[in-house]
Structure 1
């Protein structure tokens, strides 16, 4: 049984969810290894089909357990198990989590700056007698020297084009900035206990997040099919897809969280006095917005 009193921090009872999620993670990872085994050895090709099913099983197991686990947390919140100090600890935990996410993206931005400012110009500055890549240019965006043959002349992909800031990237920027405004509007409505505006603001935020993901998918398709811009397009392609791809993954997770919060708003789970679940997701969404602004400036414009 869970223990709790007015003078005691809430301690939930033992849960089997972490153990089952661990099984799901093991199945997912093992299935991935088995599914690519035929690329390494033809003798292991028979593992590919069961490997794919293991991945499906692991993913479904993880999703179902996360759904059940989060349902238990919501039930604990609605039944009054969380008091002021639990609320405070949740806020501290969310702040620490966002700081860890900030460090994650800072590492990728650091790699981007290192390539642009140091490594690419340094490769181009080598004496032609000593560099293995002839005629390599130190300009950005750079798709080399990955496309060059060692010791041969550097010839860039003739179809390669850098992604500009106009078009879909500009539209996505407008979408995310607008979503930041709509979720803030929804928060104000929650504080005023205006459920109609709260639900409308959250619905608009979800719609903007989904539209962003659709636009990014279209952008990736355009990059691969018409611009010659792929994950293997040297330093620029790798940094572009790693930064925008990880950000898109965070937008996907944030959109899923927004959908859950929208459903909870419809059910009336939040009050003006107690709504950290809403605030935590709003903080995360604003963080995603800020990261995109950095991407838009340093990846698309500069």
Structure 2
């Protein structure tokens, strides 16, 4: 279907098909560079770290121009309701994949803590494997192979971060309702507050990592606990950064006059993602820091 048929408003029954684009190929190449360079870096090729850097810079560049094209098409009125539905399904499945991603790590935490550790502490297994193994969580492994460390408690940094993220969810909801009521100034204010809270969260987590690494001796190689702690909280922190960047883009678009009260799925998609990040953090706060 040609583009000219689709410029008939949001209710048009046409599906806009863009012209041929090199963005997918360029994206695939950057991901290939990242993957190969990361594998080489892990295997001791020192120069490979620059390949990872180049790959990520290329990835960011491709994403910038790809999303710019998509935003431009939306602003030209090329998207119909069918495109809107496609975007909603795409974002829904993307968030579902992220749910499964974190479910894998939460499952690993549950399995190691609830099944593996007690099983290794059973009398028969202790006699067969490691007689001095202490089946407590977190543990230092058999025969002292893991250096002594302290776990991070809920007070006060994780609790502060919980308050920050929950507050950001409230401010984002206020911004969304304001946009639906076409109060653009109010939307801009509360969205900016959300972005600020998100980046403050990242700063607090960076300080927590420094404290855990230098004062608690909690490191990535601190047994199963250390690995899962940094994988769960680290990947969540990465998602917070990505979500804050997404909301920043929405803020810039809002100040440029994009979005209307009835047509603002870009804003909604970023909001969905942010609320997902909030929910994941609540699970982390409970099962990593409390229990």
Q: Taking structure 2 as the reference length, what is the TM-score of the superposition?
A: 0.92
Determine the C-alpha separation between the residues in 1 that align with 2:53 and 2:109: 34
* Aligned residues: CA RMSD: 1.8
In structure 1, the partner of 2:62 is 65
Q: Is 1:48 the equivalent of 2:46?
A: yes
Q: Is 1:260 the equivalent of 2:249?
A: yes
Contact 2:140/2:146 (<8 A) preserved: yes
Q: Is 1:136 the equivalent of 2:126?
A: no
In structure 1, the partner of 2:34 is 28
In structure 2, the partner of 1:76 is 73
In structure 2, the partner of 1:215 is 204
Contact 2:157/2:204 (<8 A) preserved: yes
In structure 2, the partner of 1:117 is 114
> How does 1:1-302 map onto structure 2 within 5 Å?
2=3, 4-5=5-6, 6-37=12-43, 39=44, 48-49=46-47, 51-127=48-124, 130-145=127-142, 148=143, 154=144, 157-158=147-148, 160-302=149-291
Cα displacement string for residues 56-82 of structure 1 (whole angstroms, at most 9, x for unaligned residues): 332222111110000000011111111
Gaps of 5+ in 1: 40-46, 149-153
Contact 2:146/2:222 (<8 A) preserved: no
In structure 1, the partner of 2:9 is none
- How many residue pairs are counted as aligned between the two chains? 285
Pair 269,221 (structure 1): closer, same or farther in 2 beyond 3 Å: same
Q: Taking structure 1 as the reference length, what is the TM-score of the superposition?
A: 0.89
Gaps of 5+ in 2: 7-11
Determine the C-alpha separation between the residues in 1 that align with 2:113 and 2:46: 40
Secondary structure at the residue paired with 2:16? strand
